[in-house]
């Protein structure tokens, strides 16, 4: 814990902060013990840990232009494929409907029973 008395306002280098964060992530080590050893407030170390986690999560892997182009093409191909699947399903339904209508019209035009020329 920080020592009582005059309040220290210090600026800590990035390497110091990173070292403190790495120390606090060690197994069986508490934030409080690391903060006491470094003579900083535990809340400050907790804040650095949070900033470190958020920065790691926000880091983006640099993508070269060729990979970016391939990703755009892949997205376009997936969209086209989804559209074609929908069109295919629609055409299957249209064919089924047309076949049913044709079957109904053929069955209604057949003569039923005995007609004029039958014996």
- Are 49 and 20 in a shared domain? yes
- Are 23 and 51 in a shared domain? yes
- Could you list the pLDDT tens digit for every one of the 119 residues in the chain? 455 555 556 688 888 888 899 988 888 889 999 999 988 999 999 999 998 888 876 665 566 788 788 888 999 999 999 999 999 999 999 999 999 998 888 877 666 656 555 55
pLDDT at 98: 93
What does the block give as tokens for 75? 């997205």
Q: Give the burial string for 85-108 (b: 16+ CB within 10 Å, else e).
A: eeeeeeeeeeeeeeeeeeeeeeee
pLDDT at 113: 59
Q: Is 9 part of any domain?
A: no
- Name the DSSP class of 4: S
- Model pTM above 0.75: no
What does the block give as tokens for 71? 């990703």
Tally the domains of the chain. Answer: 2
Domain boundaries, position 41:
14-58
């Amino acid at each position: 814990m920080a020592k009582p008395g005059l309040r220290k306002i210090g600026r800590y280098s990035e390497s110091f902060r990173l070292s403190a964060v790495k120390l606090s992530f060690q197994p069986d080590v508490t934030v409080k013990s690391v903060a006491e050893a470094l003579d900083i407030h535990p809340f400050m170390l907790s804040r650095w840990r949070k900033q470190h986690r958020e920065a790691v999560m926000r880091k983006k892997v640099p993508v070269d232009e060729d990979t970016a182009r391939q990703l755009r093409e892949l997205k376009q191909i997936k969209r086209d494929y989804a559209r074609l699947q929908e069109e295919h399903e629609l055409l299957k339904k249209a064919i089924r409907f047309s076949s049913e209508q044709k079957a109904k019209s053929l069955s209604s035009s057949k003569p039923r029973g005995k007609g004029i020329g039958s014996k």
